[in-house]
Amino acid sequence: MTQITGGFSASDAHVGMSAAGVTFVDISGSAASVAPGEQTRKSGEVYTHSGDTAIITGGKREPLEVEIKIVYTEGTGDPFEVIRAAFEAKTPYYFRWSPKGYVTGAFTFTSDAAVITGLTYPDTDAGTGDPCMCAFKFKTAKVTKSALVT
């Protein structure tokens, strides 16, 4: 195979969240990274008295968690406050991200209505000039790939 073309940095990715899964609020200007965990499929194996290897079967897909790190800000309606409130109230949200950015046709990965399962409050460090950050995780049964419509 000749060397692939079309690789890109995901530094301009699009990240959105939505209460109803229809209209997504763009949080790309606050989000610093999206780290999806591996989604795994249950599997099993059995050995018979014949043969040297196992018979492997596949089950259902297991849930996955996705971690998003965001810049901590205190403005009214900023993502931290929306996410904190949703975490505390167990309010489900839909999330999506497009590694290539907010571009028509870019691949987009969208969660189901997902529970926010983790919230990391802002840390502090007197020895750094880095922006104060926070993070959250959501757990979803699956992620659906589609092409972004802008």
Partner 1 sequence: MTQITGGFAASDAKVEISANGSSWNDISGAAASVAPGEQTRKSGEVYTQSGDTGIITGGKREPLEIEVKVVYTEGTGDYFETIRAAFEAKTPYYFRWSPKGGVNPDFQFATPVAFFSGLTYPDTDASSGDPAMYGFKIKTPYVTKSVVAT
User: Contact residues for partner 1 (CB under 8 A)?
Assistant: 25-30, 59-63, 71-75, 78, 84, 87-88, 90, 112, 114-132, 135, 137, 139-142
Residue 21, by phi and psi: left (phi above 0), alpha (psi -120 to 50) or beta?
Answer: left
Tell the smallest beta-carbon distance from residue 137 to partner 1 (Å): 7
Tell the smallest beta-carbon distance from residue 75 to partner 1 (Å): 5
Q: Name which of 2 and 76 has its Cβ closer to partner 1.
A: 76
Q: Name which of 29 and 51 has its Cβ closer to partner 1.
A: 29
Integer Cα distance of 25 and 68 in angstroms: 15
Integer Cα distance of 52 and 114 in angstroms: 43
CB hemisphere CA count around 115 (13 angstroms): 7
Q: Name which of 3 and 124 has its Cβ closer to partner 1.
A: 124
Tell the smallest beta-carbon distance from residue 8 to partner 1 (Å): 20
Name every residue whose Cβ is closer than 8 Å to that of residue 54 and which is 6 or more positions away in sequence.
Answer: 45, 46, 47
Q: Name which of 52 and 125 has its Cβ closer to partner 1.
A: 125
Integer Cα distance of 107 and 27 in angstroms: 17
Tell the smallest beta-carbon distance from residue 50 to partner 1 (Å): 31
Tell the smallest beta-carbon distance from residue 59 to partner 1 (Å): 8
Integer Cα distance of 34 and 10 in angstroms: 10
132 touches 124 (CB < 8 A) = yes
Q: Name which of 12 and 55 has its Cβ closer to partner 1.
A: 12
